[in-house]
Amino acid sequence: MLKPTSDVSGTAVVNRTQDSPAPAERWMSSTGVSVEIRGSGTPVLMMHGIGGSANSCGLLAERLSNHGYRTFAWDAPGYGQSTDASVEEDHADIAAALLSELGIGPVHVFGTSWGGVIGAQLAARHPELVSSLVLASSTRGSCITRESADRMLKRIRELKDAGPTAFAARRFRRLVSPVTTVQIAEAVRADMASVRLPGYSAAARMMARTNNTVVLTALNVPCLVVVGRDDFVTGVEESRFVAKLVPGARFEILEDAGHAALQEQPEMMAETILDFWGDKK
């Protein structure tokens, strides 16, 4: 069952963001995974991308919580307020254990980019825990070709050599649409600049060994695949292909959004997701 909100030391934590005056609770699992919780109602597990954190999901989580959903946005192991304790363990299994410890499920699962790769594996292995799956700006993984896997692994050395601030400065512009505001682009950069080497390295290695092609074809949960029109990272065609692989999946393109669509267009993303859920709430 859900424990009282606390950090590692047991001190109560309440987070506030500039765009969200309503408080978000913080909860820490027994294995050191921190979760940001908003609202009440139907539970939604939210998983960020490889260059993000729970903070990346904040604007979307606020909108979903305003419509009667209780959002649980994790900091993956080695990210945000989570510890590095379980970084080398299987991320989908960690997510399943997290839901068990929270005492919730089945849940709607939202995963963006790397988070969607984890979400697909979670839905495949533990369909009883997943009532629906949203794959935003996501992919089959990086083990589609040897070259794509190698490119992913090279990011580890780049982060180690450059440090997170320079690493983010080099990469963040590709994550957003050309029409995205400076304020949102800066938020995306700041999220990436906060990554830590243990968490990012484990995520990159997971992506480099993952090809979810077969996993996606075997999914048996309602699925929405959504992507920004200006996604220059994973791309519209990869998302379109992912949608074709998942039986009965719905596919949507968001205008004026790039790879970081959940931050660039949180209102549009929320409307698309809520429409997909329909009477599943």
What are the sequence ranges of the domains in the chain? 14-280
CATH says 14-280 is which class? alpha beta
Contact residues for 103 (Cβ-Cβ < 8 A; gap 6+): 1, 2
Token pair for 44? 């939604």
pLDDT on residue 23: 74
The one-digit pLDDT tens for each residue of the chain (281 residues) are 443 333 322 223 333 333 444 579 999 999 999 999 999 999 999 999 999 999 999 999 999 999 999 999 999 999 999 999 999 999 999 999 999 999 998 999 999 999 999 999 999 999 999 999 999 999 999 999 999 999 999 999 999 999 999 999 999 999 999 999 999 999 999 999 999 999 999 999 999 999 999 999 999 999 999 999 999 999 999 999 999 999 999 999 999 999 999 999 999 999 999 999 995 44
Looking up tokens 């794509």, which residue turns up? 148
pTM of the model: 0.91
Q: What is the per-residue pLDDT for 217?
A: 98
C-beta pairs of 241-245 under 8 Å, 24+ apart in sequence = 241/140, 242/135, 242/138, 242/139, 242/140, 242/216, 245/140, 245/213, 245/216, 245/217
- Which residues, including other chains, have CB under 8 Å from residue 130's CB and lie 6 or more apart? 106, 107, 108, 109, 119, 122, 123, 221
3-state secondary structure labels for all residues of 156-197:
HHHHHHHCHHHHHHHHHHHHCCCCCCHHHHHHHHHHHHCCCH
**And the tokens for 72?**
């649980």
Q: In this predicted structure, what is the pLDDT of residue 22?
A: 57
